[in-house]
């Protein structure tokens, strides 16, 4: 047995027409990849290069000739001879509705910046559905059973607002901000971590991300890798430190810097991006394009930095001291 040839990738190409222009892409490429190749921007929410497409947000839909429905660009493969419109009236209308429905029911104020741009581009007006319904009581949405619908009054836009779940020292879950993109479920489960601590529970508008039996995080399968936070596009999952700083109006991106370094905890060589403010680490991420991690970390790499912060017992002091330090330096 000699050394195997490792580079035998078939490079069969297919030709597609996108918005009137013809482009050749590798067989197996998605319409999204074909659009990216042409420089045509397609909005995406539930799509991430490191995760399997789940086609749930529908904001990336495009129109394909002779297809009855609009298709999700993130997962539909390019076929030879396909004729695609990415900006037809039907596409624009559909994207507008998706953005309006999300905007009227979910708090998107911490979503990635592009979401606001898309709202404008597609003329989405979430406010036209009326004021958002009152927040649910803590745990009320989690207790809803499939088939038990309650009546809407038509006066308010039905929303998912509810109190933030704060059940551990490392991260919080604010499902008022959750658009059910499934990214956290995939990062926790099949696409990276293999822990399966969370899944979608409930049906229809009552669907929500839940731990098994709605247990607090520390009582379930969660291993606190924080890979769910790493992929969340709307700030529903957040470092406890970031959440506390935001609550105190001390989170200051202008005063933050990001430094790339290597984790100290084992020999795998995971790259860390340390987000610092006022000489404190306030958040840790890993670059998605980093070969070793694909953006994913473990509990030690993501949260195990308190020992360089000169703090005492974290349960009691960490956040307070970060706050105090920040307050001393940046009075508001």
Partner 1 sequence: MDDAEVVILWGSNARAAHPIFFHRVIRAVRRGAQLFCVDPRRSESAEWADLWLGIDVGSDIALSNAMAREILSEGLENRRFIERSTLNFDEYARSVEKWTLERGERVTGVPAHAIRTLAHTYARADRAQLCWTLGITEHHNATDNVLALINLALLCGHVGRYGSGLVPLRGQNNVQGGGDMGAIPNKLPGFQDVENDELRAKFEKVWGASIPPRKGRHLTLMFEAMEEGHLRGLYVIGENPADSEADVQRARHLMEGLDFMVVQDIFLTRTAQMADVVLPAAADWCEAEGTVTSSERRVQRVRPALRPPGEARTDSSIISHLAAALGHGWGQPTAEEVWNELRSLSPMHGGMSYRRLEENGGLQWPCLDEDDPGELFLHSRLWANPPVGPLAPFHVVEWAPPVDSLTADYPIRLTTGRHLDSYNTGVQSGSTASPLRFGGTLDISPEDSAEWEIAEGEEVRVTSRRGSITVPARVDHSLRPGLVFMSVHFPEQADINKLTIEAWDPKSGTAEFKATAVRVEKAPALVG
* Site residues (vs partner 1, CB under 8 A): 1-4, 6, 168-170, 190, 192-194, 217-218, 222-225, 257, 259-271, 274, 276, 279-281, 290-294, 296-301, 303-311, 313-315, 318
If the CB atoms of residues 24 and 266 are measured against partner 1, the closer one turns out to be 266
3-state helix, strand, coil in the chain (%, to 5): 30, 20, 50
| Structural contact between residues 202 and 175, judged by C-beta atoms closer than 8 angstroms | no
Nearest distance from C-beta of residue 275 to partner 1, angstroms: 9
Instruction: Check residue 137 and report its DSSP letter.
Output: P
Nearest distance from C-beta of residue 290 to partner 1, angstroms: 6
Nearest distance from C-beta of residue 182 to partner 1, angstroms: 18
| Structural contact between residues 295 and 285, judged by C-beta atoms closer than 8 angstroms | yes
Nearest distance from C-beta of residue 3 to partner 1, angstroms: 5
Quick one: residue 200, left, alpha or beta (phi over 0 = left, psi -120 to 50 = alpha)?
beta
What's the CA dihedral at 66, 70, 74, 76 to 10 degrees? Answer: -30
Nearest distance from C-beta of residue 165 to partner 1, angstroms: 13
Quick one: residue 112, left, alpha or beta (phi over 0 = left, psi -120 to 50 = alpha)?
beta
If the CB atoms of residues 170 and 201 are measured against partner 1, the closer one turns out to be 170
CB atoms within 10 A of CB 250: 20
If the CB atoms of residues 154 and 307 are measured against partner 1, the closer one turns out to be 307
If the CB atoms of residues 50 and 104 are measured against partner 1, the closer one turns out to be 50
If the CB atoms of residues 132 and 217 are measured against partner 1, the closer one turns out to be 217
Nearest distance from C-beta of residue 176 to partner 1, angstroms: 23
If the CB atoms of residues 22 and 259 are measured against partner 1, the closer one turns out to be 259
Structural element, H or E, at residue 64:
strand 61-64
DSSP 79-102: -TT-EEESS-HHHHHHHHHHHHHH
Bridge partners, residue 12, by sequence: none
């Amino acid at each position: 047995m000699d050394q195997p040839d490792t580079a035998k990738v078939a490079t069969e190409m297919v030709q597609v027409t996108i918005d009137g222009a013809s482009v050749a892409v590798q067989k197996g490429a998605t319409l999204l990849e074909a659009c990216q190749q042409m420089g045509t921007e397609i909005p995406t929410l539930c799509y991430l290069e490191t995760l399997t497409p789940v086609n749930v947000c529908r904001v990336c839909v495009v129109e394909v000739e002779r297809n009855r429905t609009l298709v999700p660009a993130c997962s539909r493969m390019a076929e030879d001879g396909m004729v695609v419109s990415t900006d037809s009236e039907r596409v624009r209308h559909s994207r507008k509705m998706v953005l309006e429905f999300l905007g009227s029911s979910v708090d998107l104020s911490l979503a990635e910046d592009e979401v606001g741009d898309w709202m404008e581009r597609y003329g989405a007006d979430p406010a036209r559905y009326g004021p958002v319904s009152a927040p649910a009581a803590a745990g009320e949405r989690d207790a809803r059973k499939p088939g038990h619908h309650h009546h809407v009054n038509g006066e308010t836009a039905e929303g998912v607002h509810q109190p933030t779940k704060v059940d551990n020292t490392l991260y919080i879950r604010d499902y008022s901000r959750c658009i059910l993109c499934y990214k956290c479920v995939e990062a926790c489960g099949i696409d990276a971590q293999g822990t399966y601590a969370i899944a979608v529970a409930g049906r229809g508008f009552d669907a929500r991300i839940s731990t098994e039996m709605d247990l607090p995080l520390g009582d379930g399968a969660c291993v606190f890798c924080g890979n769910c936070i790493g992929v969340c596009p709307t700030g529903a999952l957040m470092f406890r430190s970031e959440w506390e700083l935001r609550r105190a109006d001390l989170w200051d991106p202008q005063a933050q810097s990001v430094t790339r370094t290597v984790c100290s905890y084992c020999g795998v060589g995971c790259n860390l991006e340390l987000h610092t403010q006022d000489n404190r680490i306030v958040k840790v991420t890993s670059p998605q394009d980093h070969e070793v991690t694909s953006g994913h970390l473990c509990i030690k790499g993501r949260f195990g930095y308190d020992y360089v912060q000169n703090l005492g017992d974290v349960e009691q002091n960490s956040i307070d001291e970060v706050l105090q330090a920040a307050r001393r330096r940046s009075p508001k």
